[in-house]
Amino acid sequence: MNGIELQEVSKTFGAGSKRVTALDGLNLHIRAGELTALLGPNGAGKTTAISLMLGLAAPTRGQVRVLGADPRQDTVRPRIGSMPQESAIPQALTVREAAALFASFYPAPLAVDEVLKLTDLQGAANRRAGALSGGQKRRLAFALAVVGNPEILLIDEPTTGMDAGSRLAFWDAMQVLRASGRTILLTTHYLEEAQRSADRVVVMNAGQVLADGTPEQLRAQVGGARVQFKSDLVLAELQRLPGVEQAEVDAHGRADLRTRTPESLLGELYRRQSPFTELEVSRASLEDAFLTLTS
């Protein structure tokens, strides 16, 4: 099965001085059967990329292929499920009716009850969409994305507005869908979630791919460790410690250092015998990788 392929894709909006380049020669391959998380700061082009994959817009330049074909073709669209950031759900329908309506648009949908169970909406099945809480509305949007039994799922910021319990349930459902062989692309600003659940992480900025790899590979790119402690060393002294790549110090004298060689840094601190307290050494997180890449 083919995944998603974007080759040298550019997308501009507006003209003249108002022209905005949302995607700028983007090359992206989303492999079939994988869960890929697309990260990037606001305005990086994530939603624009998804709208091209959904066939809602055409690229200004370049080529978009989904399941080996142009996503604007009628044969491809029913095989893609999408959960946009904001979805227009018929407010007067109950949850079950909305799911059944959407199921009726597809040739081989999933059973409505199965989907309500997967999205943790069984208890709200007879409530009108207009009367749902914010988190329940997101879960209904998720149910509507899934009910058509799509091979490809494109999900824009799924967990925004969900409480901690709903987020956990959402990620459990994602794992079930992934295990059934679907190709899933989702955008998120929750880096820990991407780190835990995605096979692959793509970081975008200014309409291009900055980095692409497993969460582990991205962490390895920023390298090593984060070392924090309290001392009376000033920033210039901290920057001169061995192997320090990045240094910050706050008003309380708490140093926050990035290094690939924490052992030699700590060795030097002990040698100097300058007092330091509240030592913490941790591995670089995906958040560190993200900030380094996009700063």
Nearest distance, CB of residue 11 and ligand ATP, angstroms: 8
**CA separation for the pair 166, 273 (Å, rounded):** 49
Decide: is 22 part of the binding site for ligand ATP (CB under 6 A). Answer: yes
Residue 129 to residues 6, 38, 148, 159: CA-CA distances in angstroms? 35, 29, 19, 18
Decide: is 242 part of the binding site for ligand ATP (CB under 6 A). Answer: no
Nearest distance, CB of residue 186 and ligand ATP, angstroms: 12
- Beta-strand (E) ranges in the chain? 4-13, 20-30, 35-39, 61-66, 80-83, 152-156, 183-187, 200-205, 208-213, 225-231, 244-249, 254-259, 276-283
Q: Which stretch binds ligand ATP (CB under 6 A): 27-35, 40-48, 87-95, 103-111?
A: 40-48
Nearest distance, CB of residue 157 and ligand ATP, angstroms: 7
The residue (of 44 and 244) whose beta carbon lies closer to ligand ATP is 44
Single residue of 28, 30, 48, 292 touching ligand ATP by CB under 6 A = 48
The answer to whether 49 and 6 have CB atoms below 8 angstroms apart is yes
Decide: is 14 part of the binding site for ligand ATP (CB under 6 A). Answer: yes
CA dihedral 64, 70, 72, 74 (to 10 degrees): -160
Residue 40 to residues 3, 19, 117, 187, 209: CA-CA distances in angstroms? 21, 21, 32, 8, 9
Decide: is 208 part of the binding site for ligand ATP (CB under 6 A). Answer: no
Nearest distance, CB of residue 214 and ligand ATP, angstroms: 22
Q: Which stretch binds ligand ATP (CB under 6 A): 29-37, 42-50, 123-131, 271-279?
A: 42-50
The residue (of 44 and 203) whose beta carbon lies closer to ligand ATP is 44
Nearest distance, CB of residue 226 and ligand ATP, angstroms: 25
Decide: is 228 part of the binding site for ligand ATP (CB under 6 A). Answer: no
Nearest distance, CB of residue 20 and ligand ATP, angstroms: 4
Single residue of 26, 28, 30, 44 touching ligand ATP by CB under 6 A = 44
**CA separation for the pair 238, 229 (Å, rounded):** 11
The residue (of 20 and 111) whose beta carbon lies closer to ligand ATP is 20
Q: How many other CB atoms are found less than 10 A from the CB of residue 197?
A: 20
DSSP state of 207: T
Nearest distance, CB of residue 259 and ligand ATP, angstroms: 31
SS3 at position 119:
coil
The residue (of 38 and 118) whose beta carbon lies closer to ligand ATP is 38
**Adjacency order of strands within the sheet including 20-30:** 20-30, 4-13, 61-66
Nearest distance, CB of residue 248 and ligand ATP, angstroms: 25
Size of the residue set binding ligand ATP (CB under 6 A): 12
DSSP 66-116: ETTB-TTSTTTGGGEEEE-SS----TTSBHHHHHHHHHTTSSSPPPHHHHH
Decide: is 42 part of the binding site for ligand ATP (CB under 6 A). Answer: yes
Given the rule CB under 6 A, which residues bind ligand ATP? 13-14, 20, 22, 40, 42-48
